[in-house]
Amino acid sequence: MTSPLQLIIMPTLLAVSLTMTACQKPSTPTDGPNNDNVEMDKDTGASIADTSPVDVTPTDAATTPEQQLIDNLANYRWSLTSARDDDGQPITELMNIRDQVTLSFNQYEGQHTVRYSVGCNIMSANYQLQGFSLTTEDSMSTKMSCRELDNAEDIFNDIMEGDSQISMVSGDTPTLTQVTDDSETLVWTGRMTSQAKYNSKGDTLFWSVSAETQPCVDNRSQQCLQIKPVTFDEQGIKVSEGKLVEFSGNIEGYQHNNTHDEVLRLQRYSINSSDNSAKEKHAYVFDAVIESTKVK
């Protein structure tokens, strides 16, 4: 049986989606190029809108220190490393689930926004940065019942709203330290976002992936995914599936499930040829499983 559509939140539509219920339907991007600029994906035969590189790093020499920090913060997805209260004691409600406590910084319609989650609802708020002083406004949130996560979510939201001092240390593993006005301390570890990594804006794709793999045509010793490109309308209703083809490449962050047929939402990025030793034209990054059917 096909499971219900899971919560799908498009990053560029976050501020709109937070006013809706959590069960958002998938949709295809509406801000891409027109059909005159559509090319065929050599790996799947699917038609995919071409993208142009997008500069995600500050280049203006006159950029303020605050803007440089804002840009750097947005280049990473932050995961909680430690959380301590004003007495220096661990905040157990967060530390017990720290691997799923996340934070990210974005821009939407000229506003700086921060979104955060304990693995259930997504909370989002506008923020201002003056020097190293971060002020987070009252948040909006999706409305799922989180059961055992409800208490952790309330605690986390109380910590995030209001004023705090932040400091960021760059490097192979960037670290962000946040100290609130109530002397709670959160330490975050950053992982570079795909957009920053590939220096381009990704295209959203939907692929139906079969639970069963097959030997690759060009290398019978290797197993290839069997995929169908999928198209959804603006209401999130599936309107078409392409022909079944093999995919021999890599989907970053995806673990194939050999017991379920799945529909995946992916981001496809153009790769700078000068930095690409394998000469691959595109990188595919897993976003979400939006449909799953157990194979009998």
**158 with 74, same domain?**
yes
Phi-psi category of 88—alpha, beta or left, where left has phi over 0 and alpha has psi -120 to 50? left
Residues 128 and 228 in one domain: no
Residue 93 included in any domain: yes
Q: Are residues 207 and 271 in the same domain?
A: yes
Same domain, 248 and 175: no
Question: Are 14 and 115 contacting, i.e. CB atoms less than 8 angstroms apart?
Answer: yes
| 278: region left, alpha or beta (phi > 0 left; psi from -120 to 50 alpha) | alpha
The reply to whether 1 falls in a domain is no
C-alpha 56/C-alpha 71 separation (Å) is 8
Residue 59 belongs to some domain of the structure: no
Domain tally for the chain? Answer: 2
122 with 183, same domain? yes
- Please indicate, yes or no, whether the overall pTM of this predicted structure exceeds 0.75: no
Residue 247 lies inside a defined structural domain of this protein: yes
The C-alpha atoms of residue 97 and residue 272 are separated, in whole angstroms, by 37
Q: How far apart are CA 164 and CA 72, in angstroms?
A: 18
Given a contact cutoff of 8 angstroms between Cβ atoms, the answer to whether 259 and 295 are in contact is: yes
Helix, coil or strand: residue 277? coil
Of 164, 192, 220, the residue at which a domain comes to its end is 192
**Which CATH number do you get for residue 152?**
2.40.128.270
Strand pairing report for 76-84 and 185-192: antiparallel
DSSP string, 17-36: HTTS-S-PPP---SSS--GG
The values of phi and psi at residue 255, to 5°, are -110, 115
Pair 46, 151 in one domain: no
Has residue 223 been placed in a domain? yes
Q: Which range marks the domain in which residue 38 is found?
A: 11-54+200-294
Query: Going residue by residue through the chain (296 aa), what tens digit of pLDDT does each one get?
Result: 444 333 333 333 333 333 333 334 444 333 333 333 333 454 444 434 333 334 444 445 467 888 899 999 999 999 999 999 999 999 999 999 999 999 999 877 778 999 999 999 989 999 999 999 999 999 999 888 888 999 999 999 999 999 999 999 998 899 999 999 999 999 999 999 888 888 878 899 999 999 999 999 999 999 999 999 999 998 888 899 999 999 999 998 899 999 999 999 999 998 876 655 556 789 999 888 889 999 98
Last residue of a domain, one of 147, 175, 192: 192
Contact between residue 97 and residue 65 where contact means Cβ atoms under 8 Å apart: no
DSSP secondary structure, 63-76, as one string: --HHHHHHHHHHTE
Among 158, 192, 226, identify where a domain stops: 192
3-class SS at 236? coil
Residues 168, 252 within the same domain: no
Residues 187 and 279 occupy one common structural domain: no
CA 160/CA 197 separation, integer angstroms: 27
